[in-house]
Structure 1
Amino acid sequence: MKIFKERHFFRLVIVLLLVSMASCNKKKNSYTAVSELDKKTFASTQLIPDDHFLGDASCKTCHAKEHDYWQGSHHDKAMQVATDSTVLGNFNGIEYKSQGVKSRFYKEGSAYFVNTEGPDGKYHDYKIEYTFGVTPLQQYIVKFPNGRFQCLRTAWDTKKHKWFDLYPDFKVVHSEWLHWSRGGLNWNNMCADCHSTNVRKNYDEATHGYDTKYALINVNCEACHGPGKDHVEAARSLGKDYKGNGDLKMTSQTKPKALVDACARCHMRREQISEYYNFEGSMLDHYFPQLIVENVYYPDGQILDEDYVYGSFVQSKMYHNDVTCTNCHDPHSLKLKFEGNKLCAQCHVPETYDTPKHHFHPTGTESSKCINCHMAGRYYMGNDFRRDHSFRIPRPDQSLKYDTPNACVQCHKDKDNQWAWEAYVKLYGKPKHKHFSDLLAPGLRGEAGGLNHLLELAKDTIYPEIARASAVNVMTNYADPQVIDNLLHFLKDESPLVRGASLDVLGEINAADYVNYLLPLLEDEKRSVRVKAFFALGSLDEALIPEPYKAVYKKVKKEFETNLKVTSDFVGGKVKQGNYYLKQGKLLDAIASYEAALEIDNTNNIARTNLANLYYRNGDFANAEQAFKTIITQEPEYGQTYYSYGLLLAELNRVEDAIVQMELAIKYMPDNIRPYYNLSLLYDKANQLNKAESTALKGFKKSPQDESMLYILAYIYSKNNEVEKAKNIAKRLVDLYPNNSNYRAFYNQLNAVQ
């Protein structure tokens, strides 16, 4: 099950585009009628009727071997009705306690129940309706009012045969979004799309309820191969003469990268673009993948939070050499095709690689297994060990620079990264080839010179698309004019990921300056790119759209509205809607969208901070202040809130109150320069020049080259009649910024003082 911490990430859903699936007798499906223009530019967004999905029993008739492999697999057991044959957990009155919450699991007749803490903080009895998964853990689903289904936080370990907490070290209050009874473990929007077949979420914004539907309860044959109605009808009609007509998806004829994209529907973190998945178009017509960002990945691209394989695999050389999922995994049982190093030996010559001359470990041991050096992993959901599919060479040197993991010290736990790097150099020499992470990591960390590395990575097509797009995505770490120039260039990149990432960045600035660059993207072949282009153009009056783009603008507008609709039960979706309203100058609508976001997750203080600023823009100072106070109550050690609150109070001329907040901002984020600057100004305004000077000096020592600190220090020195000190600092400003006439005038004024 996909469980995301939505405070840091928001996920969107999918639409399936239906290719005409005519049977051999030329009978057309009613749901594939599309105009010629739509066929050329847009894939269909129509829903496939449930009765076009016939179930695995129909497939078994002709595909018994494949059906036998599939039966009992993770796909088969993805979701089941809770019965004596499907429930694996111990419900014999067992009590489990974690984080102060007691859960008792018991049976009444043939029904399964749990007594545990509910959304009101009180204990209730809940009937188990469905099981979720099979190994290494099984979760259980409870029905709530309004069509909601919730997954319990306590799961059953199917290997150790015991109950356990999915997040044993993470205290969650019953009122929080991450509580099992709320959004973080909601089946309808977090899980259903990938655990069942032909899912429609059917969320009602007005009631916050769901009427979720699916054709088949689990990940059935047709979840991958497409609806079987036409295929079965043709096979029955033609009998032995039927050789297939290309009406099935994901077959042995599917090209390697297309197969990876098809699996990626569910095996990736992604932004959902379309409402339904209908097997038309490509993955990027329905989703846009999570790029490499901190909190989800390490700076070198290794897995940190759950990425569900795709985002790692497309980083690898294997993917770029047309290795695909089914080269290693049986497509039906999902099991590995071979055990041990035989799996890798399909491509990598054993005499070269499966030898101590390569791995320097005793043959036949765990240390000599390819995957333990090249596929290090992490545990998720308590006991689920998942391997990193980027297939990378360990880099202890990057561990020293960026605190990234490496397989060496994960095994040699008594050693450190310095030892690992020295051993690596001794055995293999220094890396002979530049990995994309050598360019991405400095930029992700905002290091000096990092922008040049990002530009090199983004421009060089030898590197993976996801790495290039990620480089574009983080260029905003640098305030440099060349960023915009390059972003405009990347809008024409061959990679839709790069185009999409460029639009995401440009969408956050004044797009009116770049209309002529953005309009052509409304005709992009990928729906996700078109939708991002529409958002980026949000500040443009529809009446001003040039005639050649009017028709396509209206079509993409519907796609964008669908994107907002399918994400409307996520904080991120409502925030995106609010930001779109801001582009259109609709401040009150934007405020309403942000307020709706907090109805979904009242603890999302990123959204609440933005809302506080919107209240302020609207002159609603009371609500703005209350929003900041709420954030401080919920996250008292988050320094940025004190800083923003202090700015608000300063604007209201409540200087003493503002000083208190700025002092707290420095306490909780002592390395951030901005609070020192503002606090110094506030002390100056309060006629406390000695404190203003000492504060400016502290900030200056933190960052001696920072422009703002140089200026405020020179200014305070001049007010304090310390003219020579002021001159020295002002001279540095002039030397560093010779084109700034204000700094030169300030310096000249100081020199004129006798």
Structure 2
Amino acid sequence: MKLIQYIFLWIVCSCIILSCKEKNAYKSVSSVAKEYPYDKLTDDLFLGDKKCKECHQEEFKEWKGSHHDKAMQIADSLTVLGNFNDTTFVSQDVKSRFFKKGKDFYVNTEGPDGNYHDYKIEYTFGVFPLQQYIVKFPNGRFQCLRTAWDCKEEKWFDLYPDFKVVHSEWLHWSRGGLNWNMMCADCHSTNVRKNYIQETDSYNTQYSLINVSCEACHGPGKQHVNDVVNLGEKYKATGTFFMTSETSPKELVDQCARCHMRREQFSEAYDYKGTMLDHYFPQLIEEGRYHADGQILDEVYVYGSFVQSKMYENNITCTNCHNAHSLELKFEGNKLCAQCHDSQKYNTTEHHAHPENSEGAKCVNCHMPGKYYMGNDFRRDHSLRVPRPDLSLKYNTPNACTNCHNDKDNQWAWSSFKKLYGEVDSIHFSEKLIPGIKGILNGHTELLSLVKDDKYPEIVRASAAKALSNYNTTVFVKEYIDLLNDDSPLVRAVSVDALSEINNQNYISYFFPLLKDPKRSVRIKAFYGLSSFPKGQIPESYKTDYDTVEKEFWKHINTNSDFVGGRVKKANYYLKKGEFQKGIQGYVDALKIDELNNSLRLTLANLYYQNRAFSKAESLFKKVIALEPDFGPVYYSLALLLAEQNRTDEAIVALKKSQIKMPENTRVYYNLSLLYDKKGDTVNAEKILYEGLKIDKNNESLLYALAYQFYTKEKYKKAKPIIEKLIKAHPENPQYMRFLDELKTKL
């Protein structure tokens, strides 16, 4: 959240009401144009909380003991909350024994080699409702145990009890999924520098202060103290102190967001310059992360939902509800909402339709439903929306009514809603977003209307632009080119991504102006999109910008090179440039991080295939089959590879297996027919085409292949109606007319 140390935030109800009345569109925060004295934030610039306490005793008192204060601590008898009195916890057949050696805390559990070892607990992580524990590994790595302490129930529990993870998987606690350096450190300590070195696969991670101290939010204190001593009240003009009472509501959300959102990092380390989008890019609304209407699903934290809300639009910010230093809610129950909302109107049974003081009468249970993450951590959705059981009926999205009344269905919820409030009388963005996110036919129409209308939240518009590419990016090239000039940096960035996938020189030339974009994340995306553009042909007016952003790009790539995604981006950069071997090596390096990632393995196999390294491709395809024998597409890819080497019988066997695994895929039938035909087995070649046409009677490829089969067997009368059907369905294809003319000469 936030630590505001110099000036206490006196936000009275009248000020909040005023801010609600000032209509403000969903605009992103402008870059902060402040002079800043540091190029590199060294440890000596950070003075620590005791120095801050000298002037800010009240703020220090509120912060002390908070989640920020106890975000990370050295493990000792005062900080460790878990039971280490030789207790054992078993989950997914893994036994973990927690015990002490003298004053030190230990766990004996399964390590990265599959064997059991003793590990010393170095640090605690968090304080409530759970506490995690960190152990030290070679090469500067620190790992978070998968078993955590439930501070409410006072028991050990498995963070992911439904997932059985083997020791060689990325998700194993000893590997990337629970690596402190890359997954946790940036937000649990102050002035973190990850310092990952890919060549040695090692870390030299450093921080100035172990926890989320005062200076994590307000910036390094040394210059601030000097300014106050030398300038008095004039220190405010220096711009060296951050997150104060003068920080605008949206800028405050922006600054809190860097740790309270799911995101991709675009700078080496946070240095208090610029805005959130100069350092990070948020997770947008897409299936698997959010529900299709924007409600939280996966662990996406707070920012992405809050910026969808009417609260954000109307300049409500984090500190309107949360104390800036203790992080606690300012008021209990509905009194919190009554700061702005008339309790005479809303805190009544007529409005909430539940008994007074019941759970159903609480504003948050209807407007901020939540779910548990990490086993026991309940987090509320911050999009603050009206429940929409009508959308649940139509699209199976969740709603607060049936979340509580889980013995009822969505029809009951919608009928009850209408009795209380009548029909919905306003359009919510989710009505336009859901069809497009779900890929429903013609959903792109509503997506386009969302993207082009800036009265909708910026993150919603950007998510709509991203979802638009799920249909057919090439159809919307003009729209995407226009959106490169949108006021929203999120929309500009997504449009760059969409056009980059097409990788057409005529389109990517539009990226050059974005090398000057005020947001680093947009600039880097534009540079990546220009990967295939010959450097020697860069227009003179953009050469300096290109060179500057190239340096930013490589810092971004190197910073993320401990992630699979970072290495894949590096690989794809080289592939776009035509440096095929470097691209292949990039995928090889990505597999080193996650050896069981078959998506990577398939991509690498296909790259080898394209490069005619057939034996390497075949080996990888077979490795995927060994790991996932029910995955149909890999049999199909293997069959094509074998067919190209004239290993027809083996290819047929692979395609038959593919047919069993994915019987609805008509392309399998088409290629299987071709292979039978190649062997001279025209009976089976014809038979398999008929089987495919039972699945899709109008399939163009299958119909053409069947007509060709009849033609080669001199069954011209059977071929003729099939070709006539194809001409009627595809009059733009001259090949079919020529085929018909040829048939007429035979009849």
TM-score where L is the length of structure 2: 0.92
Q: Does 1:427 align with 2:420?
A: yes
Q: Please give the alpha-carbon distance, in whole angstroms, between the structure 1 residues aligned to 2:165 and 2:357.
A: 45
Deviates more, 1:721-730 or 1:527-536: 721-730
SS of 1:479's partner is helix
Q: Say which of 307, 313, 330 aligns to 2:306.
A: 313
Residue 548 of structure 1 corresponds to: 541
Q: Distance in 2 between matches of 1:598 and 1:611?
A: 9
C-alpha change, 1:92 and 1:497, in structure 2 (3 Å) is same
Task: Say which SS state the counterpart of residue 450 (structure 2) adopts.
Answer: helix
Partner amino acid, structure 1, of 2:431 = D
What aligned pairs does 1:164-563 form with structure 2 within 5 A after superposition?
A: 164-237=157-230, 246-479=239-472, 481-563=474-556
Once the two structures are superposed, the pairs formed by residues 577-592 of structure 1 within 5 Å of their partners are 577-592=570-585
Find the counterpart in structure 2 of residue 651 from structure 1: 644
Letter in 2 for 1:283: M
* Residue aligning to 2:35: 20
| Corresponding letter in the other structure for 1:661 | A
Please identify, of 251-260 and 708-717, the stretch whose mean Cα deviation from structure 2 is larger. Answer: 708-717
Say if 1:729 and 1:653 are closer, same or farther in 2 by CA, change over 3 A.
Answer: same
The residue that corresponds to 2:626 in the other structure is 633
Match of 1:740 in 2: 733
The residue aligned with 1:613 is: 606
Instruction: Report the number of matched residues.
Output: 718
8 Å CA contact retained: 2:499, 2:508:
no
Partner of 1:128: 121
User: Matched residues in 1 for 2:444 and 2:697: separation?
Assistant: 21
The CA distance in 1 between the partners of 2:713 and 2:429, in whole Å, is: 51
Counterpart amino acid of 1:542? Answer: K
Give aligned-pair identity as a percent: 60
Q: Distance in 1 between matches of 2:50 and 2:715?
A: 88
Q: Compute the displacement of 1:421 (Å).
A: 2.8
- CA distances 1:322-346 after superposition (whole Å, capped 9, x unpaired): 1111111111111111111222222
Instruction: State the alpha-carbon separation in 2 of the partners of residues 528 and 127 from structure 1.
Output: 39
Instruction: Quote the residue 2:18 is aligned against.
Output: none
Deviations 1:235-261 (A, max 9, x none): 345679977854311111111111111
Corresponding residue for residue 557 of structure 2: 564
Aligned-pair CA distance for 1:413? 1.3
CA contact (8 A) 2:224 2:235 kept: no
Structure 1: how far apart are the matches of 2:135 and 2:621? 36
Is 1:64 the equivalent of 2:57? Answer: yes
Could you give the per-residue CA deviations for residues 418-446 of structure 1, whole angstroms, max 9, x where no partner exists? 33233333433333222222222222222
Residue of structure 1 equivalent to 2:10: none
2:136 to 128, 143, 167: 143
CA distance in 1, matches of 2:547, 2:302: 36
Q: Do the aligned partners of 1:47 and 1:276 also contact (CA within 8 Å) in 2? A: no
Evaluate the alpha carbon distance shift between residue 126 and residue 273 of structure 1 in structure 2; reply closer, same or farther with a 3 A threshold.
same
| Secondary structure at the counterpart of residue 427 of structure 2 | coil
SS of the residue corresponding to residue 501 of structure 2 reads coil
Which one-letter code corresponds to 2:458 in the other structure?
A: E
- Matching residue's letter, 1:129: E
- Give how far 1:525 is off: 0.7
Letter in 1 for 2:299: E
User: C-alpha distance in 2, partners of 1:719/1:357?
Assistant: 78
Q: Distance in 1 between matches of 2:683 and 2:152?
A: 66
1: CA distance, partners of 2:718 / 2:412: 48
CA distance in 1, matches of 2:644, 2:695: 26
1:364 Cα offset (Å): 1.7
CA distance in 1, matches of 2:234, 2:346: 47
How far does residue 665 in structure 1 lie from its aligned partner after superposition? Answer: 3.0
Q: Secondary structure at the match of 1:334?
A: coil
Distance 1:480 1:269, change over 3 A: closer
1 CA distance for matches of 2:353 and 2:673?
Answer: 59
2:615 to 622, 647, 662: 622
Aligned partner letter, 1:737? H
CA contact (8 A) 1:17 1:277 kept: no
Could you tell me whether the CA contact under 8 Å between 1:733 and 1:743 is conserved in 2?
A: yes
**Counterpart position of 2:83:** 90
Tell me, which stretches of 5 or more residues in structure 2 are unaligned?
Answer: 2-30
TM-score by length of 1: 0.91
How far 1:205 moved relative to its partner? 0.9
Is 1:18–1:279's contact at 8 Å kept on the other side of the alignment? no
User: For the residues of structure 2 that align with 1:195 and 1:79, how far apart are their CA atoms?
Assistant: 6
Supply the distance in 2 between the matched residues of 1:338 and 1:750 (Cα, whole angstroms): 83
Listed one character per residue, the Cα deviations across residues 41-93 of structure 1 (whole Å, up to 9, x for unaligned) are xxxxx321111111111111111111111111111111000010000000000
Deviations 1:656-694 (A, max 9, x none): 323333333343344444434433433443444454455
Cα offset, 1:97, TM superposition = 0.5
Range that drifts further, 539-548 or 421-430: 421-430
Equivalent position of 2:654 in the other structure: 661
